[in-house]
Structure 1
Amino acid sequence: MKLVWSPETASKAYIDTVKSCQNFKEYSGVAELLSAMAAGWNAKLIVQAWRHGDPFETSIGLAIAARHACGRHVCIVPDEQSKLEYVEAMRKYADVPPPSPEVVVGEAEAAMAGLAGVDFLLVDCKRGDFARVLRFAKLSQRGAVLACKNACQRNVSEFRWHRVLGRGTRVVRSVLLPVGKGLDIAHIGSSADGSTAEQSRKGRSRWIKHIDAKSGEEHMFRAFHTKPI
């Protein structure tokens, strides 16, 4: 089973998020886009990484998405101070019916350990451990959508999706959008698509022998055949 896109659900989440976030001063359009994506892909487990001092718009948008998708919205925070601030702010600003977002306190590896089957994951590139959150995420077998906001503030030359994610994770496509301060989104393929890219390459390879006409030396090359993404 794969993630299936629903334009109707995406539209409802988008509109509700616009209504809920229109009074925020620093309104960038990121919240409603992420809300529409999470709801549109019918994400059953939506996870975000948040810390003390971050804005709340995206959290409100994801909470709305979880309601429309009938899923869970989980926020991981680094410490108790961040948890208290987050819970209080969501209670004050979020015009979203219960249930409220779940809050998990802990560092990236420990926090993500108990969250299996993530369909939608949002990290903020201003967090020093944002890459670790991505690396330790236990993604859904249906596939997943990963989003990095404030992408323009990270080291572009060092960040590559295939370097950050676990071995064998197949990135179907990725795009960097000029929304807010940069929104980098990657779509991860489902495990139902077949074996991983690593296994696929191993299963479809052959050795080619070449003999140099001048020196007479024999060279062996291994050729890989991969399906286009």
Structure 2
Amino acid sequence: MSRVLQVNLAVPEHNGAKSVGITGIRKQPVTHAVAVRAPGPKGLSPERASGLIGDRIFDTMNHGGDDQAVYAYAREDYDWWENELGRELPGGTFGENLTTLGVDVNGAEVGETWRIGDTLVLQTTFGRIPCATFQSKMGEPRWVKRFAAECRTGAYLRVITPGNVCAGDELKVVERPGHGVTIADAFRTWMQAPERLVEYLKIEGLPEGLKAEIRHRLKQ
């Protein structure tokens, strides 16, 4: 059964990698149910920027908001990285809200919908683009480039139907758009062949926030 292995919330700490000065990238698992709702646009307060009540995002101009309301990372990809890095990587190390088990997160189609538990419905939007804060936290040489090159990015999700999430909740993929563009495909194109992103604007059902990000990327 595919399920949520952990639900993780931020433990704020000093961040010397960005001018914001504080980060919520370090997350710890919680055992209680957490309410999830659409947070609204980027740029809100740290307490509001995440989709999970009780989580906090401090670099709100670059993270959080409706199309990055929830971040999911697969336990299977952690296991792969543990073998590569030769160190233990507990769930939450990469800053994800949901550590999943039995779900091909990177192989999910962009715009795929997941039902978690009884009511919560989420939709995949894009992969996680690594930043200086992630590099600093990991302490691995050339971590940003290494993480990006593997395309094991995990997935951001938007909230379609609000609800609660708890460790152990079943996770079901309830709908795939059928266009075949996966989270890993889209991330690889973004990083290595951005001129091809114009093709993604034709994908039916692509979140409007992601389309705006693509248009901005194409202008750069």
Q: Fold match, TM over 0.5?
A: no
Q: Which has the higher helix share?
A: 1
**Higher-RCO chain (CA-CA 8 Å, sequence separation at least 6):** 2
Larger radius of gyration: 1
TM-score (norm 1): 0.31
TM-score (norm 2): 0.32
